[in-house]
Amino acid sequence: MERRVVVSERSYPNLAVVTQVLNDDQGDFTVRREVKSSGCMSFQEHDDRTAPQFRNRKGRGSHKGRSYDRSRRDRQRGGHTAGFGGPGPRSRLDDIDADVTMSDSSQDNSSQHRFNPYGRPFRKGGEGRFDRDRRQGKGGGGGRGGGFRGGDRGGAGNGGGGRSRSGWFKVTIPHGRKYDKKWLLPALQNICTVPYTPVQYHVEHNRVHFYVDDSSAATALHKCSHKITDTDGYKVEVHVNPSAPPSFLITELKPEHLEHLRQCMAKRFDGSQQALDLNNIRTDPDLVSQNIEVILNRKTNMEAVIKIIEENIPELTGLNLSNNRIHKLDELTDLVSKAPNLKTLNLSHNELKSDRELDKIKGLKLVELWLNRNPLCDFFKDQASYISAVRQRFPRLLKLDGHDLPPPIGFDVETPTVIPPCKGSCFGSDEIKVLILRFLAQYYSIYDSGNRQPLLDAYHDGASLSLTTPYSTQNPSRSSLGEYHKDTRNLKRIKDTTVRFRLLKHTRLNVVAFINELPKTQHDIASFNVDVNTFTNTLLSFTVSGVFKEVAVDGKSRESTMAFSRVFVTVPAGNSGLCIVNDQLFIRMATTEEIRRAFVAPAPTPSSSPVPTLTAPQQEMLTAFSQKSGMNLEWSQKCLQDNEWDFNRAAQVFTQLKADGKIPDVAFIK
């Protein structure tokens, strides 16, 4: 066999690259590249029968782009440790100095290499970082629990089928920050089929998290997803994943450690100033000498500190927590009640990333606050917006990061104010009340019937109507509002003026034709709340809100309960009637509380003869009951019939229901 050797050499400042091309009589050739530096030499060979290798693929040289589809496919699949155009994903984790096979006979097993007796280590001191990481399970999924899956993801990498080897599960509520804890937890408890105890409830970014240690409770909570509707009409999502135990179970301070911590805090307390300096407490010599690790970004460690403050120095006025790597302020919420005299707080040189963390301690009556050297300070466009955001939480603040602030402007109200309960309907006068209630009773008796065509008489010739549903990024077809979503004129979603005009229904014929196309409904008259907005001799505008259900063709109502708010702008019609000139209808999903109260009192069934034939004593009792109660004959008869025509018992039930506000206004329209 004849072999020819061609040697070429290129000079570089610190090394020389020598390329030898070995050719045999069969047409195959091998390129051997030798790198010489500081007296050492490394040989690397590869078989170039597959394709020529261009080292600089991204625009350096005359060859750009990709060719040889087979090599590209193999590289994406990770089948070859190197290929045309550079190393594949797995080759980055392999020994850099190993030989690379490029022939068609190479196998998918990238761990097969030729022995290279002349290779030298990539770094001094033995193996490279990637090799070390791969062996320890840190590289691309090669080790147990390493990479992007498994490991610390709730134990799911080791346990199968959603099981948790630790027995703990982490429950996450996306966008849970906007919910009050006192509303969210009871709402979940009410619909969860398995009782449970939430552990370590906390808010992180926009999410709410807590833990449960029961697999059956975790399964039941998972089924609660999209079963609760919030006040904005959105479904509450519930995500459940296997998890490691909560951190406080692992990092609990021992009793003897607590005593050392108490002594350390006593040493750092300045009684003359009533100030406690916990700056960089994790490096305190007294604690370090006892091998006690106090890290205040751990829940249990911070809670231990606050408990010591509560038991020993509740009169504390100044607290320095700087240089403690604190990234959340959940545990500091207790300072509001356990250190009510706290006026000065130093949180500088920590890791607070959002000014929303300050909401957790805004109950403190601070006059001095340090936040400098926290990431949150970098998110404000200027100093004024920074000061404004902080002062929204602490209106009495006089110093921020050591700088004096202008004196605050506000009302010195010490007594906490309570928002009064929501009142019922507001009509303005009894005359308007009778007029509106009669109109609504007639309008919705037709609207909920099988034929809405008679509503033509309720609208003006030039009337207009618009329908709106809440703005949502989710797929409308999956929502119960899907039937209404296609016609919504929500100006936040609809930007095109032509589409806006098309969705506005003009003239009474178009209005009623559109209403006829909407799903059949059953409204809960008892849920109606009416507010008069404007009243003149020629115009009456009022808003009516309540709940309703959709009724299927067979007469059965759907599971979902919806809420509505409707603004009627009317003008006088006839002697005592109203004619609609503008109708704005807003429909959303009902909240959990609205669903609970809906359809409690069954509405009377409309009939052509409101007072059927009764015996003489019953007719006399009905008249007397109507006069004493003030209700019309239809509702008076219903009350007597429900109580088996026992006048006294019916009177007691009526008195109780009226006191509870459970009798709708339409019952008193005669």
Per-residue confidence (pLDDT) for residue 553, from 0 to 100: 60
Average pLDDT score over residue span 616-630: 85
Q: Which long-range contacts (CB under 8 A, 24 or more apart) does 529-536 make?
A: 529/424, 529/425, 530/425, 530/426, 530/427, 530/436, 530/437, 530/440, 530/665, 531/425, 531/426, 532/426, 532/427, 532/428, 532/432, 532/436, 533/567, 535/428, 535/432
CA atoms within 13 A of residue 558's CA, in its CB half-sphere: 15
Range 440-468 average pLDDT: 91
Q: How far is CA 537 from CA 352, 427, 531, 571, in A?
A: 60, 15, 18, 9
When pLDDT is cut at 50, 70 and 90, the band that residue 49 belongs to is very low
Question: Helices 255-268 & 299-312, crossing angle to 10 degrees?
Answer: 60
pLDDT at 535 over 80: yes
Residues 350 and 356: their CA atoms lie apart, in Å, by 15
Structure tokens at 626: 């109507």
pLDDT digits (tens, 9 = 90+) for 334-385: 899 999 999 999 999 999 988 989 999 999 999 999 999 999 999 898 998 9
Quick check: 88 pLDDT over 90? no
For 620-628, what is the mean pLDDT?
Answer: 86
- 268 vs 111, higher pLDDT: 268
> What pLDDT is recorded for position 242?
92
CA–CA separation, 351 and 302 (whole Å)? 15
Instruction: Report the SS3 class of residue 221.
Output: helix
Residue 569, SS3?
strand
Please report, as a single letter, which amino acid is at residue 350.
N
Cα(252)–Cα(21) distance, integer angstroms: 67
What local confidence, expressed as pLDDT, does residue 121 receive?
A: 44
- What sign has the CA pseudo-torsion 470, 471, 477, 483? positive
Token duo for residue 166 = 């630790």
Q: Residue 281: name the closest of 331, 313, 320 by CA.
A: 320
Q: Which two tokens stand for residue 476?
A: 């409308």
Residues 83/71, Cβ–Cβ less than 8 Å: yes
**Beta strand pairing status for 540-551 and 529-535?**
antiparallel
What percent of the chain stands above pLDDT 70? Answer: 68
Check whether 139 has a pLDDT greater than 60: no
Q: What is the mean pLDDT of residues 531-535?
A: 92
pLDDT digits (tens, 9 = 90+) for 246-261: 766 666 678 888 888 9
Using the structure block, give the residue that is written with the tokens 């050297």. 373
Please list the residues that pair with 573 across neighbouring strands. 577
Tell me the Cα Rg of the chain.
Answer: 38
Q: Which of 145-149, 588-592, 627-631 has the lowest mean pLDDT?
A: 145-149
Mean pLDDT of the residues in the chain: 75
- Burial bucket for residue 543 (CB in 10 Å: 0-12, 13-18, 19+): middle
d(CA 130, CA 186): 50
Strand partners, 43: 34
Residues in the chain: 670
Distance CA 647, CA 625 (A): 8
Assign 309 a pLDDT band (cuts: 50, 70, 90). very high
In sequence order, the β-bridge partners of residue 551 are 557
- Residue 639 identity (one-letter amino acid): C
Q: What is the 3-state secondary structure (H, E, C) of 406-474?
A: CCCCCCCCCCCCCCCCCCCCECCCHHHHHHHHHHHHHHHHHHCCCCCHHHHHHEEEEEEEEEECCCCCC
- State yes or no: pLDDT of 488 exceeds 70: yes
In terms of Cβ atoms closer than 10 Å to its own Cβ (0-12, 13-18, 19+), residue 208 is buried
Q: What is the distance between the alpha carbons of residues 602 and 591, in angstroms, rounded to a whole number?
A: 20
368-370 and 199-204 strand pairing: unpaired
pLDDT over 70 (residue 98) = no
pLDDT in tens, 402-413: 999 987 766 665
CA 447 – CA 440 distance, rounded (Å): 10
Q: At what angle do helices 647-659 and 633-642 cross, to 10 degrees?
A: 110
**What is the residue type of 239?**
H
Mean pLDDT comparison of 2-6, 99-103, 136-140, 147-151, highest-scoring range: 2-6
Q: Give the pLDDT band (50/70/90) at residue 124.
A: very low
Predicted confidence at residue 556, as pLDDT, reads 53
Confidence band for 158, pLDDT divided at 50, 70 and 90: very low
For 302-318, give the DSSP string. Answer: HHHHHHHHHHH-TT--E
Helix (H, G, I), strand (E, B) or coil at 116: coil
pLDDT band at 416; cut points 50, 70, 90: low
Q: CB–CB of 149/117 below 8 Å?
A: no
Count of CB atoms within 10 A of residue 414's CB? 4
Residue type (1 letter), 596: R
Which pLDDT does position 218 carry in this prediction? 93
For residues 411 and 466, the model is more confident at 466
Whether the predicted pLDDT of 317 surpasses 50: yes
Place of tokens 């509560």: 310
pLDDT single digits (tens) 559-617: 678 999 999 999 998 777 899 999 999 999 888 888 888 887 654 444 333 334 577 78
The yes-or-no verdict on residue 209 having pLDDT over 60 is yes
